[in-house]
Amino acid sequence: MKRMAVAALMLALPFAAFAQQWKVDFAHSALTFTGTYQGERFEGRFKRFDAKIDYDPAQLASAKFDVTIDIASVDTANAERDQALPGKDFFDIAQFPRAHFVTTRFRKAANGEVVASGTLSLRGVAQPVTLAVKFSQAGNGATLDVDTTLKRLDFGIGSGDWADTSMIGNDVAVHGHLTLTR
């Protein structure tokens, strides 16, 4: 009897539910952010990042996002700002060239939306981050949109005079839009 139970379990393992692995189409994907400088809104993006996405909305327990961002690829379409951001007062890319986000769990919120919890390591600081997740699948493709708001000072971004939140807002809205294929 015990052997039959073990055999049945072994046969069922290949059919266990796992999240779908997706490939990111980087040509049609973006990682963007919005901040404020002297009360004026500005937008930026990271041109280079890598993302490993395992996701199935029906299998949240096995879902995982693992994203590495090349901080030197930051682009805000403002030459002066783009020269300052890699420096020690901001991202300090000489010492911290990458940021890394990895999920720790997914759950459905009371309103039915999916929320991903994880850890963002940026500029040598690891902080918990929560993402609002929107996933839409069509055939062999899908889109994944994630949103969060970070506090830049929690990661030490903007030191000295730049720590003044009346000059540079502390809240930074982050949006990821990924086009995925199986």
Rg of the chain over CA atoms, in angstroms? Answer: 20
Quote the pLDDT of residue 6: 44
Phi and psi at residue 94, to the nearest 5°? -60, -35
Quote the pLDDT of residue 18: 75
The structure tokens listed for 165 are 């939140």
Topology given in CATH for the domain delimited by 20-181 = Lipocalin (2.40.128)
Quote the pLDDT of residue 13: 43
Quote the pLDDT of residue 17: 58
Q: Which residues of the chain have pLDDT under 50?
A: 4-16
- Fill in the DSSP letter of residue 11: H
Quote the pLDDT of residue 19: 86
Quote the pLDDT of residue 75: 98
Quote the pLDDT of residue 145: 98
Quote the pLDDT of residue 2: 53
For 112, 119, 167, the CA distances from 86, given in Å and listed in that order, are 39, 22, 18
pTM comes to 0.88
- Fill in the DSSP letter of residue 88: T
Quote the pLDDT of residue 3: 53
